[in-house]
Amino acid sequence: IDVDFRWKGNEYVLIDTAGMRRKAGIKAAVEHYSVVRSLRAVRRADVCLIMVEATEGLTEQDKRVIGYTMEQGTAFILVWTKWDLVENKAKRFKQLADELDLKMGYIQYAPQLTISNVTRKRLFSVFDYVDRVALEARKRISTAEVNKFMEQVRAKHNPPSQKGKHAKILYAAQTGTKPTEFVLFVNQKRLFHFSYVRFIENQLRAAYGFEGVPIRIELREETKKKS
């Protein structure tokens, strides 16, 4: 269900879903339709709000939804709901942060906020987060700037080498948004360990933000022209 909504002069389309229920007793056909509809909404959305009950914490189903959102390259915000039911809020928030770091430490780039279902506290502040993350998702960096950045990355930490062969990044470019993707043209892909690619992603985030935005980095071998 699409709902047109205006807030602070900005227009939004809210893609409402039934959610993906976890409790037993839900008929398979109904549950399947709910899941399919929710995943379709993830593909359509510019920003996804991943709603997780603060009293329950991150479940396997929540992890699957986050994983699918990342696969689609859709920006997302983690929203802890039912915050009004939490007694020691500071302690619980730290517990949730520690749990997230343990189960899905690689999504620390996603903003988090808490909302109250009863008092509606901070409910409309969600739109401030959405505006900010949507702007990050549309961010483009010029090819010249990307290559200047890669020079700085190499100065900090040279690409690895194996058996005397050195990994080389020849040039790089941002090739798209949603998903936000960068292509690195290299001499040999096999020389690049995933940890170095993760290092590059972390450096990109430190330099340019990309809050809430999954980043894809593709390695392509520069083909030699035949003489």
pLDDT in tens, 2-24: 888 888 889 999 987 755 555 54
Using an 8 Å Cβ cutoff, are 85 and 143 in contact?
no
Flag whether pLDDT at 46 surpasses 50: yes
* Structural domains of the chain, ranges and CATH numbers in brackets: 2-137 (3.40.50.300), 143-221 (3.30.300.20)
Flag whether pLDDT at 50 surpasses 60: yes
Choice among 28-32, 39-43, 95-99, 139-143 with the minimum mean pLDDT: 28-32
d(CA 154, CA 102): 30
Tokens of 219: 């390695």
pLDDT at position 146: 98
pLDDT at position 26: 47
d(CA 89, CA 220): 47
> Residue 159, preceding bond cis, omega within 30 degrees?
no
d(CA 158, CA 6): 49
Q: Which of 148, 151, 209, 221 is nearest to 180 (CA)?
A: 209
Using an 8 Å Cβ cutoff, are 215 and 192 in contact?
no
pLDDT band at 1 (very low <50, low <70, confident <90, very high): confident
